[in-house]
Amino acid sequence: MEAETAPLVSNDAVVMGLLALLLGAVFWTSSLQNKAAKTFYRIFPPLLLCYFLPSLLNLFNIVDPEESQTYFVASRYLLPAALVLLTMSADLPATLRLGPKALIMFFTGTIGVVIGGPVALFIASILFPDVVGVTGPDAVWRGMATVAGTWIGGGANQAAMYEFFGAGSEVYSAWIAVDIIVANIWMAVLLLGVANAKQIDRFLNADAGAVDELRAKAEQFEQEHARVPELKDLMIIIAIGLGMTGLAHVVADIMGPWIGANMPALADFGLDSGFFWLMLIATVAGVALSFTGARQLTGAGSMKVGSVFIYVLVATIGLRMDITAIFRNTEFFIIGLIWMAVHVTLLLAVAWLIKAPTFFIAVGSKANIGGAASAPVVASAFHPSLAPVGVLLAVVGYIVGTWAAMMTGYIMMAMMGATVTP
């Protein structure tokens, strides 16, 4: 067996520097006024490039994302701070007036995952009978059950499904790759959709009036309070973002383990996850601050600072994408793509029926497939003030994730005539 080649860069300070250079290059070139740059970025929006280019560092073995801690730092430190700053700058009453379409599309996405798994398994049993026919711990359906956990909730739900359905380590590792690649491909499609949201809305005959109104109000508020930020303003913004992040970590470090040890019924809902409490407390802190004078820091750039943190997170997520994994488990990836196709088809059908705009499709989907680490990214791509919608839906995903994933696993188990115990 050929030994793996060590990555060219292993120092995370260098990795972060490379990611920063890529982000800077994208924003610099996207600001150029020549025709070639404008045409290029009209087709490939900057956010998509910020997501895709870091994956080349993985592809060419410049960085090993499994060894790098940049994603952990961005998701645990910068993401909560971004949520505080973006939510603090939001008009929550106006956000809540967006209506029920956000929840409808979220639960449509959940149902798409629940029924998509069994549909994909059925099709795969025809296309790849030898692969699907494997029994025991490495049965395909057991690996798929773990993906259902992470596609409706997140990593904590995935780990719960791994333990509950007794998936073998080999099939579990293979389906982790499927989860990351298929979800990231869909993320790239959604980011392209953001750049073409108006055309998609016209195709779906969707009413995006409420979203446009919220975005316009946020932009008006920012313009009315705009000022050249002083050093004091920036220090206060950083103090609020990172200070509330520290508070969120304190609560998360207490609540997660306490619920896991004392309230197993709540643990079944994934509420023993420290990451869940981290996201929840950061969001609650931002909401509380949005009703105070802190919201006026929007004019000094609080949303822009929060957006910087989000873009760093996007780069670290892109770094984890390994396109070559597709060729190592081709059948699994085909099953995953079929599964995702069911999810997307159902979303588009319901969106057409209720005239839901692209924003609700994208955020409703990513609040399931990606959770709190991705939903705010997609929401803020429409406008930073819309990030709270992604966060709130992702919190719902954590709560329903374990039970919806268990339902998916049970249906697939029944299809295969298996039992929970391998």
Question: C-alpha angle with apex 182: 179 to 186, nearest 5 degrees?
Answer: 125
Q: Is the pLDDT of residue 136 over 90?
A: no
Residue-wise pLDDT for 342-386, tens only, equals 999 999 999 999 888 888 899 889 888 877 677 888 888 887 777
State residue 119's pLDDT score: 96
Report DSSP letters for 253-278, one per residue. HHHHHHHHHH-HHHHTTTTT-HHHHH
The answer for residues whose C-beta is within 8 angstroms of residue 70's C-beta and 6 or more apart is: 12, 15, 16, 19, 316, 319
Amino acid symbol at 331: E
SS3 track for 328-387: CCHHHHHHHHHHHHHHHHHHHHHHHHHCCCHHHHHHHHHCCCCHHHCHHHHHHHHCHHHH
CA distances from 369 to 32, 109, 323, 363, 372 (A): 34, 8, 18, 10, 9
- Gap between the Cα atoms of 197 and 193, Å rounded: 6
User: What is the average pLDDT across 320-334?
Assistant: 80
Q: Is the pLDDT of residue 202 over 70?
A: yes
Residue-wise pLDDT for 265-307, tens only, equals 777 666 777 887 887 898 889 889 988 989 889 888 888 898 8
Residue-wise pLDDT for 404-416, tens only, equals 888 999 899 899 8
Q: Is the pLDDT of residue 422 over 80?
A: no
- Comparing CA positions, the residue from 420, 394, 407 lying closest to residue 116 is 407
The band of 2, judged by pLDDT with boundaries at 50, 70 and 90, is: very low
Residue-wise pLDDT for 146-198, tens only, equals 889 888 866 656 766 777 788 887 787 788 888 888 888 888 888 888 878 88
State residue 199's pLDDT score: 87
Mean pLDDT taken over the chain: 85
